Amino acid sequence: MNNDLVKSALSKVIYPGFQKDIVAFGFVDNIEIDGSNVTVEITVTSSANEVEEQLRNDINLELSRIGVERVFIKVNKPAVPRETSSKGKNIAPAVKNFVMVSSGKGGVGKSTTSVNLAIALTMSGKKVGLLDADVYGPNIPRMLGVENVRPEVIGNRVKPIEAYGIEMISMGSLMGSGEALLWRGSLIIKTIQQFLTDITWSALDVLIIDMPPGTGDAQLTLAQSVPVTAGVTVTTPQTVALDDAERSLTMFKKLHIPIAGIVENMSGFICPETGKEYDIFGKGTGLNLANKFNTFMLAEIPIEPSIRTGGDTGKPITYHQPNSETAKRYIKSAERLWEEIEKINALGVVSNDMIQPTTGTGSACSTSSAKSHSHSNNNSCGCH
């Protein structure tokens, strides 16, 4: 398999409604070949779903004819024109981009992913913030080695803690480790809002937000409070986790959050002695999901003991072992994430206008009058 072979197969794919093919039109942005798997990225001029569907079918057909086993197709297309140009609500306007890191299930590696993506983005020169929105089980302070650091309070606002060049705030830093609050929904809503308004964030290029597991009040409140630029779903290869990952991706859709990609964590095992990689849970299953939701696999991160020890000791692998295979994958996925953020911004699709509640403050989730445009459920919050 090589680039020319793939390109000549793609030149048999005619753009629907025209006589020219997608290569001649210059719609093929990128071809990546990995053995008999091929990733194709195209940018088209039509926002119609039928055009996308036809192209996917034709590309699959032509590539299977030349022996490609797995085809991954990413289609970029213009946003469907909106009724409003408003970006909706933003209670943290100093921040340029917000990335929500989510999963349907606990313990799959959201916090680990958030930390390492934040570090990789910082290493590439971005000004990065990290918000630990997991109020039930805040782990970010420990993962960044600042679990005993208390933030400085200036007037009635709080300065984020600096670690590895990242600005970070967490309930763990405000309360102390090991303490626990019994959270009511209304308290979670208020806390998430205060994390955005009462913390003196700098003019950040990007705020990475580590979410609690699942699809509840924290996710909805965040999406209603700031226009989230991109969602990242973390999953593990096991089927159960994948069902949960689908819930997380569906939540992004319902909240009108553009999906930047999937991180498949605990994907294979790298033996520390030999550096050899073993497939334990079955890796690569996230790819089907990525195809289904027209998004990328941002990374396949193996199980590696130094990821866990790095987390437990506050020494993230991407910073402390930047030449390790895992660090390289995190760095590559951060590059891809940034490219996606730029693309999403260029398409102008970021807005939380559609999910604003129309009732007064105090309830972020009105079932009677929120003007959610989600189609398939009666609960207008659209996230349960």
> Which residues form the interface with ligand ATP (CB under 6 A)?
103, 106-112, 134, 137, 139, 213, 265-266, 301, 303-304, 307-308, 311
Separation of alpha carbons 319 and 340, rounded Å: 23
Q: Which is nearer to ligand ATP, 161 or 317 (CB)?
A: 317
Partners of 76 in the β-ladder: 43
State the residue number with the nearest CB to Mg ion. Answer: 111
Separation of alpha carbons 55 and 249, rounded Å: 23
For the bound state, the minimum distance from the C-beta of residue 114 to Mg ion, rounded and expressed in Å, comes to 8
Q: Which does 265 bind (CB under 5 to 8 A by kind): Mg ion, ligand ATP, none?
A: ligand ATP
For the bound state, the minimum distance from the C-beta of residue 109 to ligand ATP, rounded and expressed in Å, comes to 4
Q: Which residue has the tokens 């939380």?
A: 352
For the bound state, the minimum distance from the C-beta of residue 95 to ligand ATP, rounded and expressed in Å, comes to 22
Q: Which is nearer to ligand ATP, 16 or 314 (CB)?
A: 314
Cα–Cα distance list, 37 to 1, 66, 101, 303 (Å): 9, 12, 27, 23
Q: Which residue has the tokens 């970021």?
A: 350
The vertex-96 CA angle with 210 and 49, nearest 5°, equals: 80
Q: Which is nearer to ligand ATP, 111 or 351 (CB)?
A: 111
For 47-165, strand residue ranges (E) read 70-76, 98-102, 128-132, 153-154, 157-158, 161-163
For the bound state, the minimum distance from the C-beta of residue 159 to ligand ATP, rounded and expressed in Å, comes to 25
For the bound state, the minimum distance from the C-beta of residue 182 to ligand ATP, rounded and expressed in Å, comes to 18
Give the residue among 196, 220, 328 at the shortest CA–CA distance from 270: 328
Q: Which does 303 bind (CB under 5 to 8 A by kind): ligand ATP, Mg ion, none?
A: ligand ATP
Q: Which is nearer to ligand ATP, 129 or 172 (CB)?
A: 172
For the bound state, the minimum distance from the C-beta of residue 72 to ligand ATP, rounded and expressed in Å, comes to 22
Q: Which is nearer to ligand ATP, 39 or 111 (CB)?
A: 111
Q: Which does 351 bind (CB under 5 to 8 A by kind): ligand ATP, Mg ion, none?
A: none
Q: Which does 213 bind (CB under 5 to 8 A by kind): ligand ATP, Mg ion, none?
A: ligand ATP
Could you tell me if 92 and 201 are in contact, meaning their C-beta atoms sit under 8 angstroms apart?
Answer: yes
Q: Which is nearer to Mg ion, 88 or 172 (CB)?
A: 172
Q: Which does 304 bind (CB under 5 to 8 A by kind): Mg ion, ligand ATP, none?
A: ligand ATP
Q: Which two tokens stand for residue 114?
A: 């958030």
Q: What share of the chain is helix, strand, coil (3-state, %, to 5)?
A: 35, 20, 45
For the bound state, the minimum distance from the C-beta of residue 115 to ligand ATP, rounded and expressed in Å, comes to 8
Q: Which is nearer to Mg ion, 97 or 103 (CB)?
A: 103
For 291-342, the DSSP string reads HHTT--EEEEEEE-HHHHHHHHTT--HHHH-TTSHHHHHHHHHHHHHHHHHH
Partners of 21 in the β-ladder: 14
Q: Which does 266 bind (CB under 5 to 8 A by kind): ligand ATP, Mg ion, none?
A: ligand ATP
For the bound state, the minimum distance from the C-beta of residue 189 to Mg ion, rounded and expressed in Å, comes to 19
- Single-letter code of the amino acid located at 24: A
Give the residue among 73, 71, 17 at the shortest CA–CA distance from 46: 17
Which are the contacts of 147, defined by CB distance < 8 A and separation ≥ 6? 141, 172, 177, 314
Q: Which is nearer to ligand ATP, 103 or 352 (CB)?
A: 103
| Residues at the site binding Mg ion, with contacts judged by CB under 5 A | 110-111, 134
Q: Which is nearer to ligand ATP, 58 or 210 (CB)?
A: 210
Q: Which does 109 bind (CB under 5 to 8 A by kind): ligand ATP, Mg ion, none?
A: ligand ATP
For the bound state, the minimum distance from the C-beta of residue 135 to Mg ion, rounded and expressed in Å, comes to 11
Q: Which does 78 bind (CB under 5 to 8 A by kind): ligand ATP, Mg ion, none?
A: none
Helix (H, G, I), strand (E, B) or coil at 284: coil
